[in-house]
């Protein structure tokens, strides 16, 4: 009979053998998995993990492609270039064998930035319904990196991600900008396109840099290093959560709309004595007042017999900040923050003939709740759209002190997205990068003018490609237009972005004509993707004669009371969209700007103002929302904003 010591020793030996076998197994990163797109026409980097000294052989369709010996638990090999095409099978052989099926060679683009790059087609399902339905494009593929942050150091792999081919079922999860970019590039060159979507809504540029590259900005580095103390980070998060919980719990407890009998979302609630509130509109402009807290809104909708029982869609624009919505006493949806457009499905059987009641409970944590103007407010049922703008019934539920913002904001961190989302991608061989970001750095344009080009150069080091094409979107127009010329952080940030074009192998897509004053997430993602594709064709694909930009400022000179402005990238000629050229302002050396009259003269623009006798400075599209700016080239591309002074 085996002694206890013998049994223990045997078990220990077995565990050691199993552990050794596990370490010895070849492993692959999630990027190198079924459906992968690998970069064509250049040596391709492949990598993974294996036991020290283990020989790893890579085969392509059964033929030896490359081999190496693992060191320090990792293997990496540069496999010979292959032309575009597929599908292929890649086999990795070590002490075990792995296969990657349905692999293709094409062009791999990294799509990154903040929410306007992250923004999926699913949120634009109505706007791009035809494009989604026609997206049977299996050679366009996305690898969506899950949103994550990490202060402890660069991660080596991405968890929970896989390659997906574009189809009507999968493409709603694609980045809208990246999809339209990829579709145009594939249509132009007939090659597979792989999009690695690593974007994080709200992320600032400093979030995508490693510790060494944050050193010139010690305030960001110090913040990141403080959060490397896990106890400190946990305490900050716990305090944030406790403060939030207290605020919302107090609001719930004092809300008469929930405790009343019947509750205020019930169809039987009497609301004849409630105040009138015009939707769209702001609380501060009504009897509700500006104080933080919550308010209830009700609307009675009379429906004909043909609409009874039919499924419907309820559109409630955008609401500041959070809302819950009931129809005839049944909760049909809720949104927890202000940015998404509200689109709620009403199931069949809920609507009835005659009176129907829509109830909306809105929480505003910072004061001045609002229903944002110039957004759709309607009930769509039985082929008709019922307008819901105008008079609603409204009543305060509760008031509260404004809720302070959290100290730890997972969308506004230095270093953290580099560690969690970018570092694991850096061994991948790319064609280039497309980038849409900057809104989160608008608060400090002068800093961004240094930070952004430094980030581009850092990324080229991370991927070990000094001339990696880097294409970016200049910020769209946003916020209310101003009647007079004013200074603008948004304009200065656009200027900082454009300055990065001084770096080689960069390109910019201007978007000042596709934004929306009332939405930081404009719906026109197709134009943005198309303009990025034009930039790629010129910068990355070498179509040197292609007009890929609108007219860009080249020079300015004085001519009496006028300024003569010269442009590059004129293309087939300058053009004004509209009856008269607008968006220009002039000033003398040390006085305020005034709107200018402007006209096109060949490849120049001549500007002047009766209020400025000796113009020395000029601005174009210099505003948060330069909605009147209308200078284009004949190819239909807008001129980027600029400011300039006549040389002394």
Residue 153 DSSP SS3 = coil
261 with 381, same domain: the answer is yes
542 with 463, same domain: the answer is yes
Last residue of a domain, one of 490, 515, 548: 548
Model confidence pLDDT, tens digit, residues 48-60? 999 999 999 999 9
Contact 509, 473 (CB under 8 A): yes
Closest Cα to residue 607, out of 583, 589, 639? 583
pLDDT at 542 over 60: yes
Query: Is 313 domain-assigned?
Result: yes
Closest Cα to residue 26, out of 61, 51, 45, 63? 51
Residues 6 or more apart in contact with residue 25 via CB below 8 angstroms: 50, 51, 94, 95, 96
> Could you tell me where the DSSP H helices lie in 377-524?
416-417, 445-462, 489-499
> What is the torsion angle, in degrees rounded to the nearest 10, for the CA atoms of residue 231, residue 237, residue 240 and residue 246?
-90
Last residue of a domain, one of 330, 365, 400: 400
Which pLDDT does position 14 carry in this prediction?
A: 44
Query: Given CA atoms 44, 49, 55, 56 in this order, what sign does their dihedral have?
Result: negative
Model confidence pLDDT, tens digit, residues 546-585? 999 999 999 999 999 999 999 999 999 999 998 899 999 9
Which pLDDT does position 367 carry in this prediction?
A: 87
Both tokens of residue 245? 């919980």
Residue with tokens 């991608």: 425
Which pLDDT does position 365 carry in this prediction?
A: 96
Question: What's 137's domain CATH number?
Answer: 3.40.50.1110
Which pLDDT does position 241 carry in this prediction?
A: 97
pLDDT at 392 over 80: yes
Q: Given 3-state DSSP classes, what are the helix, strand and coil percentages for the chain, each rounded to the nearest 5?
A: 25, 35, 40
Query: Is 179 domain-assigned?
Result: yes
The stretch 430-447 carries a mean pLDDT of 98
DSSP-assigned beta bridge partners for residue 473: 509
The stretch 193-212 carries a mean pLDDT of 98
pLDDT at 4 over 70: no
Query: Is 290 domain-assigned?
Result: yes
487 CA to centre of own chain: 26
Which pLDDT does position 13 carry in this prediction?
A: 45
* Strands of 304-450, DSSP E: 312-316, 319-320, 322-327, 330-335, 343-346, 354-364, 370-371, 377-381, 384-387, 390-400, 432-436
Give dist(CA 326, CA 333) in Å, integer.
Answer: 7
> Which whole-number Å values give the CA distances from 592 to 33, 446, 598, 645, 648, in the listed order?
59, 21, 18, 14, 19
**268-299 per-residue burial string, b: 16 or more CB within 10 A, e: under 16:** ebebeebeebebbbbbeeeebeebbbbbbbbb
382 with 449, same domain: the answer is no
DSSP-assigned beta bridge partners for residue 607: 563, 598
Model confidence pLDDT, tens digit, residues 619-631? 999 999 999 999 9
Query: Is 51 domain-assigned?
Result: no
Query: Is 342 domain-assigned?
Result: yes
The pLDDT > 70 percentage for the chain reads: 96
Query: Is 301 domain-assigned?
Result: yes
Closest Cα to residue 313, out of 340, 338, 334, 332? 332
Other Cβ atoms closer than 10 A to 12: 10
Phi, psi of 66 (to 5 degrees): -165, 160
Give dist(CA 496, CA 324) in Å, integer.
Answer: 40
The stretch 608-612 carries a mean pLDDT of 97
Q: Respond yes or no on whether the N-terminal peptide bond of residue 69 is cis (omega within 30° of 0).
A: no
Which pLDDT does position 24 carry in this prediction?
A: 61
502 with 556, same domain: the answer is no
Last residue of a domain, one of 400, 428, 447: 400
The stretch 356-379 carries a mean pLDDT of 96
Which pLDDT does position 16 carry in this prediction?
A: 38
Query: Given CA atoms 269, 270, 276, 278 in this order, what sign does their dihedral have?
Result: positive
311 with 362, same domain: the answer is yes
> Could you tell me where the DSSP H helices lie in 134-229?
176-189, 211-214, 218-227
The stretch 434-450 carries a mean pLDDT of 98
> At 249, which helix (H) or strand (E)?
helix 230-253
Query: Is 281 domain-assigned?
Result: yes
Question: What's 279's domain CATH number?
Answer: 2.60.120.260
Give dist(CA 218, CA 232) in Å, integer.
Answer: 19
**552-564 per-residue burial string, b: 16 or more CB within 10 A, e: under 16:** bbeebeeeeebbe
Both tokens of residue 215? 């050193």
> At 486, which helix (H) or strand (E)?
none
pLDDT at 3 over 60: no
- Global model pTM greater than 0.85: yes
pLDDT at 281 over 80: yes
Which pLDDT does position 93 carry in this prediction?
A: 97
Which pLDDT does position 12 carry in this prediction?
A: 46
Which pLDDT does position 590 carry in this prediction?
A: 82
| Residue 452: domain span | 103-217+419-548
591 with 502, same domain: the answer is no
Closest Cα to residue 619, out of 474, 459, 494, 448? 494
Model confidence pLDDT, tens digit, residues 124-167? 999 999 999 999 999 999 999 999 999 999 999 999 999 999 99
Contact 535, 508 (CB under 8 A): yes
pLDDT at 19 over 70: no
The stretch 441-449 carries a mean pLDDT of 98
Query: Is 500 domain-assigned?
Result: yes
350 with 453, same domain: the answer is no
Residues 6 or more apart in contact with residue 96 via CB below 8 angstroms: 24, 25, 26
> At 131, which helix (H) or strand (E)?
helix 129-133
Domains contained in the chain, number: 3
385 with 258, same domain: the answer is yes
Closest Cα to residue 42, out of 643, 394, 465, 375? 465
278 with 384, same domain: the answer is yes
288 with 270, same domain: the answer is yes
Both tokens of residue 173? 């999860």
Give dist(CA 398, CA 251) in Å, integer.
Answer: 7
424 with 533, same domain: the answer is yes
Give dist(CA 516, CA 481) in Å, integer.
Answer: 10
158 with 267, same domain: the answer is no
- Comparing 13 with 499, the larger pLDDT belongs to 499
Confidence category of residue 2, pLDDT binned at 50, 70, 90: very low
Closest Cα to residue 396, out of 295, 321, 287? 295
């Amino acid at each position: 009979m085996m002694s206890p010591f013998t049994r223990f020793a045997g078990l220990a030996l077995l565990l050691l053998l199993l552990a050794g076998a596990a370490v010895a197994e070849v492993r692959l990163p999630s990027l190198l998995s079924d459906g992968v797109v690998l970069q064509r026409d250049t040596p391709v980097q492949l990598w993974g993990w294996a036991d020290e000294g283990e020989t790893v052989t890579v085969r392509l369709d059964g033929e030896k492609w490359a081999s190496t010996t693992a060191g320090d638990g990792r293997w990496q090999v540069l496999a010979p270039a292959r032309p575009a095409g597929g599908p292929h099978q890649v086999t990795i052989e070590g002490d075990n064998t792995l296969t990657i099926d349905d692999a293709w060679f094409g062009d791999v683009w990294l799509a990154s930035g903040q929410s306007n790059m992250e923004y999926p087609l699913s949120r634009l399902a109505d706007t791009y319904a035809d494009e989604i339905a026609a997206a049977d494009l299996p050679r366009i593929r996305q690898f969506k990196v899950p949103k994550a942050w990490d202060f402890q150091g660069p991660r080596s792999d991405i968890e929970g991600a896989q390659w997906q081919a574009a189809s009507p079922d999968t493409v709603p999860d694609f980045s809208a900008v990246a999809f339209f970019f990829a579709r145009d590039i594939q249509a132009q060159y007939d090659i597979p396109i792989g999009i690695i979507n690593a974007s994080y809504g709200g992320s600032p540029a400093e979030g995508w840099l490693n510790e060494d590259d944050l050193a010139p900005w010690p305030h960001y580095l110090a913040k990141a290093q403080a959060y490397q103390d896990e106890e400190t980070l946990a305490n900050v998060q716990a305090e944030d959560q406790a403060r939030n919980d207290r605020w919302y719990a107090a609001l719930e407890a004092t809300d008469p709309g929930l405790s009343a009998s019947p509750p205020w979302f019930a169809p039987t609630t009497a609301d004849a004595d409630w105040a009138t509130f015009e939707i769209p509109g702001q609380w501060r402009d009504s009897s509700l007042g500006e104080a933080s807290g919550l308010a209830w809104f009700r609307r009675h909708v009379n429906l004909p017999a043909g609409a009874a029982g039919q499924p419907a869609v309820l559109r409630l624009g955008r609401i500041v900040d959070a809302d819950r919505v009931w129809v005839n006493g049944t909760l049909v949806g809720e949104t927890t923050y202000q940015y998404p457009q509200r689109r709620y499905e009403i199931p069949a059987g809920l609507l009835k003939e005659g009176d129907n009641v829509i109830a909306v409970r809105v929480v505003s944590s910072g004061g001045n709740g609002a229903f944002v103007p110039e957004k759709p407010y309607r009930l769509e049922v039985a082929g008709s759209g019922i307008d819901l703008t105008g008079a609603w019934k409204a009543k305060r539920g509760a008031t509260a002190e404004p809720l302070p913002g959290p100290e730890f904001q997972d969308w506004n961190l230095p270093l953290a997205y580099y560690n969690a989302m970018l570092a694991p991608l850096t061994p991948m061989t790319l064609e280039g990068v497309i980038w849409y970001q900057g809104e989160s750095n608008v608060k400090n344009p002068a800093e961004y003018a240094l930070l952004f080009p430094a980030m581009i150069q850092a990324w080229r080091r991370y991927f070990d490609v000094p001339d990696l094409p880097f294409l970016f979107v200049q910020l769209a127009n946003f916020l209310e237009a101003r009647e007079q010329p004013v200074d603008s952080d948004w304009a200065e940030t656009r200027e900082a972005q454009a300055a990065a074009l001084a770096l080689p192998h960069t390109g910019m897509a201007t978007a000042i004509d596709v934004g929306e004053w009332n939405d930081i997430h404009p719906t026109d993602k197709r134009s943005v993707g198309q303009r990025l594709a034009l930039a790629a064709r010129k910068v990355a694909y070498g179509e040197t004669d292609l007009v890929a930009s609108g007219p860009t400022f080249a020079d300015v000179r004085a001519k009496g009371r006028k300024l003569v402005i010269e442009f590059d990238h004129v293309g087939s000629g300058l053009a004004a969209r509209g009856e008269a050229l607008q968006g220009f302002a002039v000033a003398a050396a040390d006085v305020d700007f005034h709107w200018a009259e402007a006209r096109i003269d060949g490849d120049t623009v001549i500007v002047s103002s009766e209020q400025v006798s000796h113009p020395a400075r000029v601005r174009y599209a210099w505003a948060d929302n330069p909605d009147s700016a209308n200078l284009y080239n004949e190819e239909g591309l807008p001129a980027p904003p600029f400011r300039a002074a006549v040389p002394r």
